[in-house]
A = this chain, B = another copy of it.
Amino acid sequence: MASPLNHTSTTGEEMAELGKHDCVERLQWVLNTPKPPGLSQELIGTAVSWRKKVPFLNKQSGLKNGLFSMLKATFPILSWCQNYKANQFKNDLLAALTLASLCIPQDPMANTVVYTKLVLTVTFFAGTFQAAFGLFRSGFLVDFLSHAAIVGFMAGTAIVIGLQQLTGLLGITHFTNNTDVISVLKALWSSFHHPWNPYNFILGCSFLIFILITRFLGKKNRKLFWLPAIAPLVSVVLATLIVFLTKADEHGVKIVKHIKGGLNPSSVHQLQFNGPHVGEVAKIGLIVAIIALTEAIAVGRSFAAVKGYHLDGNKEMVAMGFMNIIGSFTSCYVATGSFSRTALNFSAGCETVISNVVMAITMFISLELFTKLLYYTPVAILASIILSALPGLIDVNEAYNIWKVDKLDFLASIGAFLGVMFATVEIGLLVAVTISFAKIILVSIRPGTETLGRIPGSDMFGDVNQYPMAVKTPGVLIMRLKSALLCFANANFVRKRIMKWVIEEEKGSKVGNAEKTIQIVILDISNLMDIDTSGIASMDELQKNLDSNGIKLAIANPRWQVIDKLKLANFVPKIGGRVFLSIGGAMASFSI
């Protein structure tokens, strides 16, 4: 390699002394790497990781053992049973009782037979699609809801649900089905013009205050932890008894009514898989499956984020799927995640899923034994229980932290919040995901570049803006790409940007000291994970542009995939083999 500048450097000499290996030999290491994994290997990576998770496909483990592991991986209840501890049961039991007080079945609607059959078949298809999504491991989509989006989503949902519960608290009958704030406020406003009964409000508010006081006491005194936990159940029992004894329902207090005792009847015979509309029904099932999943997963992830655990999207999908398939056999319609009930379960302090088992048993006993009593449960008390759980979900502190750390994240958060508040849950989620992805795309197509300088007393090179003490070498421009890909979408932009820098630096140096014009551009591509043919073409052109200005191009620290492709595209000889392991190595070879 020729030495275009007349400086000798101590660093180069020191480097040569440092190791046992010769510098020249090390340079060869960059070019003579083993072949990196190909596209096919990378693409089947996902399949391999799946295969590892389903161990009976793995020949090393026995079939019996493997089958149990697979069942455990798909139905985690099998492993929960093994690890459940007695002291978790206490918390679970309390949470279950709270939730049971709310899980009174809603009034069955009067539907025609044909409609019922169609809806059950749609439920079956929705469940099948959801289970299929999970089994084909598309659960990674769960991650697309960012932490910030979830904070906004939860706050918005809490406000919307809170407003909706006001109908129960006020005993209003006619109300809107829309979920946005404007519709709800309008409906509330017009309800006030109709006569409404103050008993509902008084009953609901007194128990709401009771629940909030017990929660405050529970927080102040650790020994009274059980007080907030049983408060909701006590409220339901007390309120129901009050209504039953005072016959308040005859004085305008709205009650639940129409409870259908016992278990749901089988509906397997009602599913219809032949007939002219099956295709249409399956399509509706697909759409319903996606909408229900989106909502359930948003709810699930929200509480997972608060509690600090992680949701396995695949398991969640399989669970929802089987729930709906079995639901369609037992006269249930499409199920999705319920924000208000999850919020309640969360604020009641449930520990494990066993709380749901306890809740189911409680429900079963209540329905079998107390059907007549539950008839008198006032609606206002159910609303006040839900309302009591909501304030904890609006996390202003976290929103402030997000604002402090990342402005774009905050934008996504606000987008989700306003979307849920003023439109629908789906639009809120869509806004948040769009804002979040816009950043990924923006960074990919408009990456920055930075000029580097040597950090004093080391062989490191750093961004001259980040490290103001970094020293630039006259006559050499060291640049680094701020992108993991050099591809069609940014190659042209990056090339122009580098040329602009070179021209500006040349202008600057001409004004200063005329002799120190740029003679070498060292491009540190250590950040570059991959390059495509458009990227290589633009590197080619950059080299030509620099060459016509009498400037030499060198590249430092290329990664595996990149150096392999540059070699295949015959780019290395074009820059005279100036490929180096490090910027320091490049500088040394030019004897700077």
B-contacting residues of A (Cβ < 8 Å)? Answer: 14-15, 18-21, 26, 29, 33-34, 36, 38-40, 46, 140, 143-149, 308, 310, 401-402, 404-409, 436-437, 439-441, 443-448, 455-460, 462-463, 465-469, 482-485, 487-493, 526-527, 529-534, 536-537, 541, 559-560, 565, 568-569, 581-582
Q: Which residues of B contact A456 (CB under 8 A)?
A: 19-21
Known: A444-B440, A568-B405. A484 touches B39 (CB 8 A): no
- Whether A484 and B147, one on each chain, are in contact in the complex, defined by CB atoms closer than 8 angstroms, is no
Q: Are B29 and A18 in contact (CB under 8 A)?
A: no
Closest to A581 in B: B460
Q: Given A39-B407, A140-B493, 4 more contacts at CB 8 Å?
A: A26-B457, A140-B445, A444-B484, A466-B559
- This protein's copies in its complex: 2
Task: Judge whether A18 and B14 touch: CB under 8 Å.
Answer: yes
Closest residue of B by beta carbon distance from A531:
B406
Cross-interface CB contact of A488 among B310, B436, B487, B534, cutoff 8 Å: B436
From known contacts A26-B457, A407-B38, A455-B581, infer whether A308 and B148 are also in contact, taking CB-CB under 8 Å.
no
Name the CB-closest residue of B to A19. Answer: B457
Q: How far is the CA of A5 from the CA of B10 in the complex (A)?
A: 33
The answer on a CB contact under 8 Å between B559 and A458 is no
Q: A182 to chain B: closest CB distance in Å?
A: 26
Cα distance A308–B537 when bound, in Å?
Answer: 9
CA distance A526 to B144 in the complex (A): 24
Supply 11 A–B pairs (Cβ within 8 Å), ascending by A. Answer: A33-B467, A34-B465, A34-B466, A39-B407, A147-B533, A147-B534, A401-B569, A405-B536, A405-B569, A443-B529, A444-B484
- How far, in Å, is A24 (CB) from chain B's closest CB? 12
Residues of B contacting A404 in the complex (Cβ-Cβ under 8 angstroms): 568
Cross-chain contact A487 with B29 (CB below 8 angstroms): no
10 closest pairs, A vs B, by CB? A19-B457, A146-B488, A21-B457, A484-B484, A147-B534, A466-B560, A39-B407, A146-B534, A482-B529, A409-B533
Residues of B contacting A533 in the complex (Cβ-Cβ under 8 angstroms)? 146-148, 401-402, 405-406, 409
Q: Which residues of B contact A407 (CB under 8 A)?
A: 38-40
Q: How far is the CB of A96 from chain B (nearest CB, A)?
A: 29
- Closest chain B CB from A157 CB (angstroms): 19
Are the CB atoms of B146 and A468 closer together than 8 Å?
Answer: no
Known: A34-B465, A456-B20, A581-B460. A534 touches B148 (CB 8 A): yes
**A446 contact set on B, CB distance < 8 A:** 46, 140
The answer to whether B458 and A147 have CB atoms under 8 Å apart is no
| A463–B532 CA distance with the chains assembled, in angstroms | 21
From B444, B527, B559, B565, give the contact of A444 (CB < 8 A). B444
A469 touches B537 (CB 8 A): no
Q: Which listed residue (B310, B466, B484) contacts A482, Cβ 8 A?
A: B484
Tell me, in angstroms, the Cα distance from A92 to B402 when the chains sit together: 60
Chain B residues within an 8 Å CB radius of A26: 455, 457-458
Choose one: B18, B310, B490, B537; the contact of A492 (CB below 8 Å): B310
Q: Which of chain B's residues have a CB closer than 8 A to the CB of A565?
A: 405-406
Knowing A18-B14, A140-B493, A533-B148 are in contact, say whether A443-B485 is a contact too (CB < 8 A). yes
Minimum Cβ distance to chain B for residue A577 (Å): 18
Residue pair B143, A468 in contact (C-beta under 8 Å):
no
Q: A466-B36, A559-B466 are in contact. Are A443 and B530 (CB under 8 A)?
A: yes
Q: Which residue of B lies closest to A497 (CB)?
A: B49
Tell me the complex Cα distance, A470–B456, Å: 26
Query: Inside 8 A of A406's CB, which chain B residues have their CB?
Result: 531-533, 565
Are A148 and B532 in contact (CB-based, < 8 A)?
yes
Q: Would A439 and B144 count as touching, CB distance under 8 A? A: no
Question: Separation in Å of the A556 CB from the closest CB of chain B?
Answer: 11
Taking the nearest CB of chain B, how far is it from the CB of A466, in angstroms? Answer: 4
Q: Are B21 and A484 in contact (CB under 8 A)?
A: no
Is B493 touching A143 in the complex (CB atoms < 8 A)? yes
**Residue A146 contacts which of B484, B526, B532 (CB distance < 8 angstroms)?**
B532
A458 touches B405 (CB 8 A): no
Compute how far the CA of A445 lies from the CA of B441 in the bound complex, rounded to whole angstroms.
12
Known: A484-B443, A487-B440, A492-B310. A458 touches B18 (CB 8 A): yes
